[in-house]
Chain A
Amino acid sequence: MRRPKGSIAVLVVAVIVVFALNFPVYWMFVQSITAESMFTERPSLLPKDPSLNAFKRICEAKPIGQWFVNTLIVAVGTVALSMPLAAGAAFSLSRYKTTLNSVTGLAILGTQMLSASLLAIPIYVLFRRTGLHDKLGGLIVANTAFTLPMSIWVLKGFFDAIPKELDEAAMIDGCTVGQMIWQVIMPLVLPGMVAVSIFAFILAWDEFFFARTLVSSQGNWVLSVGLSSFREEFTINWSDMMAAAVLFTIPPIVLFMFIQKHLVSGLTGGAVKG
């Protein structure tokens, strides 16, 4: 394919713009391998004297491993709790128009207006009363408050893309509803299920506000809370903080690469097709 003239010039501009916009991401990585002694001098844009000392230090000084495991438990738990519920609800919303479905659909849209700080108050009270406070399990339940509506809405888009005639054909061939969903529809929607699971995983992995409010003891902290605690120390060690930020960032970034192409329909709940 012949490219229009000036496409190299466009490439140069695009590279500069994209890299300028990503400067903070670059800076996070660079500073994580920059020696702390450099931090009081005029900063240089390239890493001087790079080392992995900061990573070693935080792994010794902080229960990073424990926080990592906790975050993993919460993220996996949130996906495991949300996805089966979301799949059923999304199929129902995609195929049937009942009063219950309209009400649930409306409630899902309504959740988009709720701020985490508003939801945190009653959930805190509820968890205090039921003993779910300061438990990773409680955090998993609380996280579904935002992963479940998102998952239902995006999955509905994937179900909508499968023609209804397929359901009918399966039913006419003598499938029960369960068989129709499980053996005919599910295999088709599997890529969507994987994408939405990853999306929910990332949301739960990154989540900070509920984790900060609903979990108190340090052994139950997740990475987002642990990372934010660096700032509250008497003398902030920025190199260590950037190293922790890098460790926290890598898993969601890697997963993000896999779901990129589903992103548009995911973000807009299928309102805009990507």
Chain B
Amino acid sequence: MSRMRTALPNTAVNRVSAALILPAAIVMGAVVIYPILTTIGLSLTDAPLISLSPPSFAGLSNYAEWLSNPDFWRSLWITLIYTFGVTIGSYAIGLFTALLLNLDFPGRAILRGLVLLPWAIPEVAAVMTWNWMLDYQFGIVNSLLGSQVGWVTDSAMALWTVTIVTIWKQFPLATVVLLAGLQAIPRELYEAANVDGASRLQQFVHVTLPGLKPVNSVLVMMLILYTFKRISIIYLLTGGGPAKATEILPVITYLEAFKYFRLGSASAVGILALGFTLVITLVYSRVFLREEA
């Protein structure tokens, strides 16, 4: 009875805890673990999407092909730009709105709710609206700006556009988390800083920013992970185009599997993307999460 305090003896504890967690563990195994193992298996074959004969073993050739394919490295680069652009943008707007909505003013509670709307509306509805807003001929964006920009059709512009739309959809996540972080900073710290004659800016740099550190590490990790695997916004706005300008790794994976019907090859690129996610997560947690533990 060392690790935990409970009224049950250890063997009974094991049985109860296992009985409670096993149903969920089995379902997770069926819909997550088994599929991933299948994908790894598929990535070693030349399986087409619909096959009559069993796929033949292809070893690591799918991986070798991707790693020597410039398209893959370009896509990885685009994925990284997209991920970091969205993370930085979401954080910046999140911090700005959180600071604003942390001030004391009448009607604050309502605005705190309303600022979350972009996050709350379904992704597909949001992207369809943006599609219409960004329409080259009749869209409101070009009309308001008096511009003639092919937001999603110009290959120099498209990556910026999908980044901005994703930031718009994702920033409320940063807002809520940072708002919670701001509220957790003890008021006494600001009062003490006031007594010491610290300016607003000094208070922000020396009290607010350090005070947000505990939430920052979790928030930034979430923003990176969510963006790195995010597919629907780009898939629905540009489909990876024009001329592959927005073809992030999840889009390549999807197109390879369900448009070109190369399951083995699609699985390999998907697993490679997962590998990069894993590396980013490990490096990040080594660097940022350890020092606080």
Shortest Cβ distance from B255 into chain A, in angstroms?
9
Say yes or no: is A114 at the interface (Cβ < 8 Å to chain B): yes
Interface mask (B253-281 → A, CB under 8 Å = 1, otherwise 0)? 11001100001001100110110011001
Interface mask (B73-100 → A, CB under 8 Å = 1, otherwise 0)? 0000000000000000000010011001
Stretch at the interface among A51-59, A142-150, A187-195: A142-150
Say yes or no: is A72 at the interface (Cβ < 8 Å to chain B): no
The 8 Å CB contact of B177, one of A27, A104, A264, is: A264
CB atoms of B180 and A273 under 8 A apart: yes
Instruction: Name the prevailing secondary structure of the B interface residues.
Output: helix
Within 8 A of B (CB), among A94-137: 95-98, 100-101, 104, 107-108, 111-126, 128
CB atoms of A96 and B124 under 8 A apart: no
Within 8 A of B (CB), among A76-99: 81, 84-86, 88-89, 91-93, 95-98
Provide the residues of chain A in CB contact with B101, threshold 8 Å. 14
Shortest Cβ distance from B113 into chain A, in angstroms?
6
Provide the residues of chain A in CB contact with B23, threshold 8 Å. 84-85, 88-89
Provide the residues of chain A in CB contact with B293, threshold 8 Å. none
Provide the residues of chain B in CB contact with A24, threshold 8 Å. 118, 126, 129-130, 133, 168
The 8 Å CB contact of B128, one of A113, A145, A228, is: A228
The 8 Å CB contact of A209, one of B18, B107, B232, is: B232
Please, which residue of chain B has its CB at the minimum distance from the CB of A239? B132
Provide the residues of chain A in CB contact with B115, threshold 8 Å. 18, 21-22
A121/B117 contact (C-beta < 8 A), A126-B35, A241-B132 known: no
Say yes or no: is B6 at the interface (Cβ < 8 Å to chain A): yes
Provide the residues of chain B in CB contact with A21, threshold 8 Å. 93, 97, 115, 118, 168, 171
**Alpha-carbon gap, A123 to B133, bound state (A):** 35
A231/B14 contact (C-beta < 8 A), A21-B97, A122-B42 known: no
CB atoms of A121 and B39 under 8 A apart: yes
The 8 Å CB contact of B106, one of A3, A118, A263, A271, is: A3
Interface centre among A125, A145, A253 (most CB of B within 10 A): A125
CB atoms of A25 and B105 under 8 A apart: no
Please, which residue of chain A has its CB at the minimum distance from the CB of B31? A145
Say yes or no: is A252 at the interface (Cβ < 8 Å to chain B): yes
Shortest Cβ distance from B144 into chain A, in angstroms?
9
Within 8 A of B (CB), among A140-188: 141-142, 144-145, 148-149, 152, 164, 167-168, 171-172, 177
CB atoms of A107 and B117 under 8 A apart: no
CB atoms of A253 and B258 under 8 A apart: no
The 8 Å CB contact of B17, one of A100, A116, A122, A164, is: A100
Provide the residues of chain A in CB contact with B281, threshold 8 Å. 113
CB atoms of A13 and B229 under 8 A apart: no
CB atoms of B218 and A268 under 8 A apart: yes
The 8 Å CB contact of B116, one of A92, A104, A263, is: A263
Say yes or no: is B251 at the interface (Cβ < 8 Å to chain A): yes
Show 27 A/B contacts (Cβ-Cβ < 8 Å), sorted by A. A7-B103, A7-B104, A7-B106, A10-B105, A14-B100, A14-B111, A21-B97, A22-B115, A22-B117, A22-B118, A25-B121, A85-B27, A89-B23, A92-B16, A95-B6, A113-B277, A118-B271, A118-B273, A121-B35, A148-B28, A148-B31, A168-B5, A206-B123, A253-B121, A267-B176, A272-B181, A272-B214
Contact residues of A with B, CB < 8 Å? 3-4, 7-8, 10-11, 13-15, 17-18, 21-22, 24-25, 27-28, 31, 39-40, 42-43, 81, 84-86, 88-89, 91-93, 95-98, 100-101, 104, 107-108, 111-126, 128, 141-142, 144-145, 148-149, 152, 164, 167-168, 171-172, 177, 202, 205-206, 208-209, 213, 224, 227-228, 230-231, 238, 241-242, 245-246, 248-249, 252-253, 256-257, 260, 263-264, 267-268, 271-274
